[in-house]
Amino acid sequence: MKKLLFLFLLSASINLNAQDLIKYLPENPLLYGRFALPTIFKSQPLDSLKEYAFFQAFMQEVPFNRQQDADSLLTGIINDIEKFGLSLNSDMHIVVSQEDSLIQSNIYFQINNITELEKNINLLFPVGDSTVYYSAANDFKLFIYKDLHMAWNNELFIVGARMSLRMETQNSWDLTDAEKVLQEKQLNERDANAIHKIFHANTLVAKRKYLKKMYQDAAIATYMDMKGLYNIYLDAMTAKFRYYGALNIFSPVNNALPFLDSKVNIGIYFNNDELVIKAKSKMGKELRKKLLKVYKRKYNPGIFNYVPEDALLSAGIKINTEAYINFTFDILADVYSKIPRYGRYGVGVITFLQTFMDEKGIGELVRGDMIFSLNNISKKNISYTTYDYDEDYNSTEVTKFNEYKVPSFSLIGSTGNPKQLEKLMDIGLDLSKVYVKENDVYVIRDNDLNQIGGALYIQITDKLFFVSNDSSFIYNVIPNKGYDKKLNAKAKKNYKGKTMYLDFSADKLMKSLADSLDEVALISSNKLLRSAAGKLHFEQSFSWFGVSTTLKYKTSDKSNVLPFLTECMNQYYLEQKNRYSYNDYDYESVAVDSAYALDSTTGPVGEPDELYLKEDGTYDVSAPHSDYEQAVEEAQPIKKEEAIKPKKVTSKK
Amino acid sequence: MRLILCFFAVLFLSSCFEIIEDIRFQANYSGTYKVTINMSASKVQINSYMKLDSVFGSHVPKKPEIEKEIQRKENLLKAHKGIKNVLITRDYVSFIFTVKFDFDNLNSFKEAHSILTSDKKTTNDFFPFSQSGNSFNRKDKLQTTAKDMAKKKKEYAALFTQSTYTSIIHFPKEINTCSNKNCKLSKDKKNMFVSSSLENLVNDPNYLNTQIIFK
């Protein structure tokens, strides 16, 4: 009954016959995303996307039709999909899965016209073309062209790409042309078997448990197996390093996988005037147990008295500092303990620190419940020197003023040992002239703060500590025990039970920063700025069942939210590219450099550190790498047959 | 906390500075040179930048580094024949720096100018001023630092548009003609004034070039 109900609900949210689709989904995907295309295009019109630089830049990166401009290319793609025999009026599905050492990324479309589709495929990749590999099984036809593959039956069209975690094709330079062709054929056969396995629709539908946990009514719903994804990411990243025999810099992360073990579901909704992103994550038992201790903390109710109602930004976090320190040490110790050879030094340092650190004492000083507020943007006049000139151009110094906008903030946290905290704060008092104590308030007035006409204030009361650059907060709000009591209840309700909470009024901040009415008008007239001028709300709670996160973005112009976000990412990417020339970053040369660095430190007869891939897919730590072997041959007059050779990796059939 | 303040300062403020060159020539082309680098309008940002290692990929020198370099230049100037009354002032609160010295003739001025504008590794023989007969010429070329900055035009855009360079030259005799339309002459026609944004100078290296003919 439960299964029937689940299938019924799923059918309602998936246009393609749910039974038919589900049986073609893998049982344990690394990533599955369902995109309700009609809902998405209704909310975020494709036409608006075309206007933005990020989209045009993206289209330029598409390997086909480079000469065409982005606009005609977009129109072409949309029209072609329909002409190609596929439907844009149904859901699109993206699946990343692993079969043996083969990672597949597939996109599923519903077929509109199978005759048209097959005609187009034949036109693009004619049967008989020696570079194309065709096969058929399980009602699916399949063709493979290099790393690209397409598969289809009467209803479903799947286009995808593959990545092998094995290194066999890297060795192809020492093969003859005939051997290369044979190797490619063997690989294509192996890949075809793996791909067909996915479409082998004889397993029970109910085995796809992950579908039950997904956000059924979201415009975009995704499921991610974080451990699996990290694994393939690390495998891909470390492939070059392994190949050149360099120290695997990612091994610490690899060893931390038990801590990254989680299943994440994300749902994106385009509601009337807001973009809502919901996420829930269920971790492995080990991580959950540790995090439960970290998040087992309640806000000191007194903190809520000091949260202003109309803050531009208000953010809170509650953790158990003692448990958090222990958690950090545990992770670090675990990671280092698994690193060959050098890991023990890391464990040693951690053990040393842990022995002398009083986690409990620190946890009492700063308990871990804190709220930060960006209260407002105030204007300050700051003097500067410039010059005026008389009629003979003799200069005289004059003082003028610049208007600066300075943010006023406050941070309130709780302490279990205020006396000790005060003692700590007293330490620097006699040592510096810029750090003084005035009426129980610690004040820092150094050069920077003086120049922007302010100071940093720290005050400690019975159970709370305050940090702010706003004197009126320190001298008016704190003596009055906070703001209006009604606000306390409101803040308490907002923050209750949430491990993290954030409210950000981007609209208010933009208006505060605007210098004139013209700039305010600019915000209203510019589509992207108008979309950005919204209200962001984020909250996260943690329970035995995992982490639950909600992010809402409310804006008067929802249709440009995605363009705005992607435009920001594009700007950030361009800036980074410009600043650091990331394009020139070459992992291969880094790997080679690392390999040489390793050789120069350990010497040619040193002990190889690198893991080597064996035929059964596991790693052999004892086999030396090829550079190492070469170095041994060059440096030592030993017999070639005595040198240990790395085992040749062959594909697993 | 300082990092947060730095972040806000960088986020909310844009920087600018002014460079003022004031040259007072005597009839024999001896004279006084004074250059002022005034960054007081950006003192908040400069304070923030000085806490960083680099800005836009360029190294940000720390106070001891700046002092060391100033001291080095001061010693070189003081030891130079034909250069007298060397005075370098620095104000690390308002970030105003001045260099002032007297020179015996144009050649001494050229050498002093080379000391000021060249870095440790390269020598800079370029000198914009020359004199022949009844005329005085200025011919500039974009210096290496400015060229480097021009390459990063996008990052330094605000700096270029808001920062200014001013050149004032006082002569002992009246100017008859000045070939540069950007130059202004004082009422008594003995003083020449030209001021421009750095953006203009980067875009047009000939902006300051001029030929002056005296009466």
Helices in A199-319 by DSSP H: which ranges? Answer: 210-213, 226-244, 251-255, 257-260, 285-295
Among A83, A199, A194, which Cα is nearest to A141's? A199
Q: Quote the minimal CA–CA distance from B11 to chain A in Å.
A: 10
Containing structural domain, residue A463:
369-496
Residues A64 and A201 placed together within one structural domain of the fold: yes
Q: Which of the two residues, A220 and A8, has the higher pLDDT score?
A: A220
- The answer on pLDDT for A592 being more than 70 is no
Q: Rounded to 5 degrees, what are φ and ψ at A639?
A: -70, 140
Question: Which of A386, A404, A579 is opposite residue B57, by nearest beta carbon?
Answer: A579
Among chain A residues, the shortest Cα distance to B164 is held by A386
Residue ranges of chain B whose CB lies within 8 Å of a chain A CB: 1-2, 5, 8-9, 12-13, 18, 20, 22, 36, 38, 40-41, 43-44, 47-48, 56-57, 93-94, 96, 154-155, 168, 170, 186-188, 190-193
Residue type, B79: A
* Model pLDDT, residue A647: 35
- The answer on pLDDT for A623 being more than 90 is no
Residue ranges of chain A whose CB lies within 8 Å of a chain B CB: 382, 384-387, 389, 391-393, 395, 402, 404-407, 447-449, 451-452, 456, 467, 513, 578-580
Q: Point out the domain boundary residue: A438, A469, A496.
A: A496
Helix (H) or strand (E) holding B84: strand B83-91
Longest dimension (CA), chain B: 63
The first and second tokens of residue A358, run together, are 């009083």
What is the Cα–Cα distance from A421 to A461, expressed in whole angstroms? 10
- The answer on pLDDT for B10 being more than 50 is no
3-state per-residue secondary structure call for A377-438? EEEEEEEEEEEEECCCCCEEEEEEEEEEEEEEEEEEEECCCHHHHHHHHHCCCCCCCCEEEE
Cβ A551 vs Cβ A277: under 8 Å: yes
Q: At A523, is the pLDDT very low, low, confident or very high (cuts 50, 70, 90)? A: low
Lowest mean pLDDT among A222-226, A448-452, B35-39, B208-212: A448-452
- The answer on pLDDT for A252 being more than 60 is no
Cα–Cα distances (Å) from A576 to A109, A532, A573, A590, B24, in that order, read 35, 22, 5, 19, 47
Q: Please report whether residue A61 resides in a domain.
A: yes
Q: Count of A–B CB contacts within 8 Å? A: 68
Q: Please report whether residue A374 resides in a domain.
A: yes
DSSP state of A649: P
Q: Which of the two residues, A453 and A90, has the higher pLDDT score?
A: A90
Q: Which residues in chain B are contacts of A396 at CB distance < 8 A?
A: none
- Please give the average per-residue pLDDT across A6-32, as a whole number: 63
> What whole-number percentage of chain B has pLDDT above 90?
24
The first and second tokens of residue A263, run together, are 């299943």
* Model pLDDT, residue A33: 94
Interface contact B12-A404, CB threshold 8 A? yes
Helix, coil or strand: residue A90: coil
Q: Which residues in chain B are contacts of A382 at CB distance < 8 A?
A: 43-44
Helix, coil or strand: residue A266: strand
What is the Cα–Cα distance from A286 to A289, expressed in whole angstroms? 5
> What whole-number percentage of chain A has pLDDT above 70?
64
- The answer on pLDDT for A579 being more than 70 is no
Residues A76 and A198 placed together within one structural domain of the fold: yes
Displacement of CA A342 from its chain's centroid (Å):
29
- The answer on pLDDT for B169 being more than 60 is yes
What is the Cα–Cα distance from A372 to A375, expressed in whole angstroms? 9
Q: What are A145-181's pLDDT values in tens digits?
A: 877 888 888 888 888 888 776 555 445 566 777 777 7
- The answer on pLDDT for A600 being more than 80 is no
- The answer on pLDDT for A585 being more than 70 is no
- Strand B18-25 and strand B164-170: pairing? parallel
Q: Which of the two residues, A523 and A92, has the higher pLDDT score?
A: A92
Q: Please report whether residue A260 resides in a domain.
A: no
Interface contact A451-B44, CB threshold 8 A? yes
Ramachandran assignment for B87, one of left (phi > 0), alpha (psi -120 to 50 degrees), beta (any other): beta
How many CB atoms are located within 10 Å of the residue A278 CB? Answer: 17
Q: At A4, is the pLDDT very low, low, confident or very high (cuts 50, 70, 90)? A: very low
- Please give the average per-residue pLDDT across A629-633, as a whole number: 43
Q: What are B104-159's pLDDT values in tens digits?
A: 998 899 888 888 877 554 455 678 888 888 889 888 776 555 556 666 556 666 67
Residue type, A308: P
Residue type, A355: T
Q: Which residues in chain A are contacts of B154 at CB distance < 8 A?
A: 578
Residue type, A98: Q
Q: Please report whether residue A636 resides in a domain.
A: yes
Among A498, A548, A534, which Cα is nearest to A315's? A498
Displacement of CA A578 from its chain's centroid (Å):
22
* Model pLDDT, residue A77: 60
Q: At A7, is the pLDDT very low, low, confident or very high (cuts 50, 70, 90)? A: very low
> What whole-number percentage of chain A has pLDDT above 90?
16
- Please give the average per-residue pLDDT across A483-508, as a whole number: 86
* Model pLDDT, residue A361: 92
Q: Please report whether residue A312 resides in a domain.
A: no
- Please give the average per-residue pLDDT across A301-318, as a whole number: 90
> What whole-number percentage of chain B has pLDDT above 70?
80
Dihedral sign from CA coordinates of A568, A570, A574, A576: positive
3-state per-residue secondary structure call for A465-520? EEEECCHHHHHHHCCCCCCCHHHHHHHHHHHCCCCEEEEEEHHHHHHHHCCCHHHH
Residues A492 and A636 placed together within one structural domain of the fold: no
DSSP state of A232: H
Q: Quote the minimal CA–CA distance from A299 to chain B in Å.
A: 23
Highest mean pLDDT of the ranges A29-43, A100-114, A411-425, A555-569? A411-425
- The answer on pLDDT for A601 being more than 70 is no
Q: Please report whether residue A556 resides in a domain.
A: no
3-state per-residue secondary structure call for A616-634? CCCEECCCCCHHHHHHHHH
Q: What are A429-486's pLDDT values in tens digits?
A: 877 778 888 888 999 887 666 666 678 899 999 899 999 988 889 998 899 888 877 7
How many CB atoms are located within 10 Å of the residue B152 CB? Answer: 15
Q: Which of the two residues, B134 and A413, has the higher pLDDT score?
A: A413
Q: Point out the domain boundary residue: A478, A496, A514.
A: A496
Q: Rounded to 5 degrees, what are φ and ψ at A431?
A: -90, -20
Q: Point out the domain boundary residue: A451, A472, A496.
A: A496
- Please give the average per-residue pLDDT across A97-126, as a whole number: 82
Give ∠ CA A209-A210-A214 in degrees, rounded to 5: 125
* Model pLDDT, residue A98: 84
- The answer on pLDDT for A291 being more than 80 is yes
Number of H helices, E strands in chain A: 26, 22
- The answer on pLDDT for A72 being more than 70 is no
* Model pLDDT, residue A8: 41
Q: Quote the minimal CA–CA distance from B60 to chain A in Å.
A: 16
Calculate the average pLDDT of chain A: 74
- Please give the average per-residue pLDDT across B7-30, as a whole number: 72
Highest mean pLDDT of the ranges A53-57, A86-90, A413-417? A413-417
* Model pLDDT, residue A237: 63
What is the Cα–Cα distance from A224 to A265, expressed in whole angstroms? 6
Containing structural domain, residue B193:
2-214
- Please give the average per-residue pLDDT across A60-83, as a whole number: 54
Q: Which of the two residues, A84 and A243, has the higher pLDDT score?
A: A84
- Please give the average per-residue pLDDT across A330-341, as a whole number: 76
* Model pLDDT, residue B6: 38
Number of domains within chain B: 1
* Model pLDDT, residue A448: 64
Residues paired with A551 in a beta bridge: A277, A538
Q: Rounded to 5 degrees, what are φ and ψ at A603?
A: 80, 160
Question: Which of A382, A392, A395 is opposite residue B44, by nearest beta carbon?
Answer: A382
The first and second tokens of residue B209, run together, are 């070039």
What is the Cα–Cα distance from A394 to B1, expressed in whole angstroms? 44
Selected residue of A443, A452, A457 to mutate for chain B interface (largest B Cβ count, 10 A): A452
Q: Which of the two residues, A409 and A246, has the higher pLDDT score?
A: A409
What is the Cα–Cα distance from A450 to A407, expressed in whole angstroms? 15
Dihedral sign from CA coordinates of A76, A81, A84, A88: negative
Q: What are B80-113's pLDDT values in tens digits?
A: 889 999 999 998 888 899 999 999 998 899 888 8
Q: What are A337-389's pLDDT values in tens digits?
A: 776 667 788 888 888 988 888 999 999 999 999 999 998 888 777 888 899 99
Q: Quote the minimal CA–CA distance from A405 to chain B in Å.
A: 7
Q: Which of the two residues, A167 and A121, has the higher pLDDT score?
A: A121
Cβ A308 vs Cβ A371: under 8 Å: no
Among A608, A594, A618, A620, which Cα is nearest to A166's? A618
Predicted ipTM beyond 0.85: no
The first and second tokens of residue A618, run together, are 């596991």
* Model pLDDT, residue B21: 92
Residues 6+ apart with CB under 8 A from B51: B2, B3, B6
Number of domains within chain A: 3
- The answer on pLDDT for B33 being more than 50 is yes
Q: Which of the two residues, A34 and A82, has the higher pLDDT score?
A: A34
Cβ A423 vs Cβ A413: under 8 Å: no
Q: Quote the minimal CA–CA distance from A148 to chain B in Å.
A: 40
* Model pLDDT, residue B125: 64
What is the Cα–Cα distance from A481 to A438, expressed in whole angstroms? 19
Q: Which residues in chain A are contacts of B8 at CB distance < 8 A?
A: 406-407
Residues A73 and A199 placed together within one structural domain of the fold: yes
How many CB atoms are located within 10 Å of the residue A572 CB? Answer: 10
Q: At A122, is the pLDDT very low, low, confident or very high (cuts 50, 70, 90)? A: confident
Among B110, B112, B111, B91, which Cα is nearest to B101's? B112
- The answer on pLDDT for A255 being more than 60 is no
Residue type, A467: V
Question: Which of A393, A452, A578 is opposite residue B191, by nearest beta carbon?
Answer: A393
What is the Cα–Cα distance from B141 to A459, expressed in whole angstroms? 57
- Strand B191-197 and strand B184-185: pairing? antiparallel
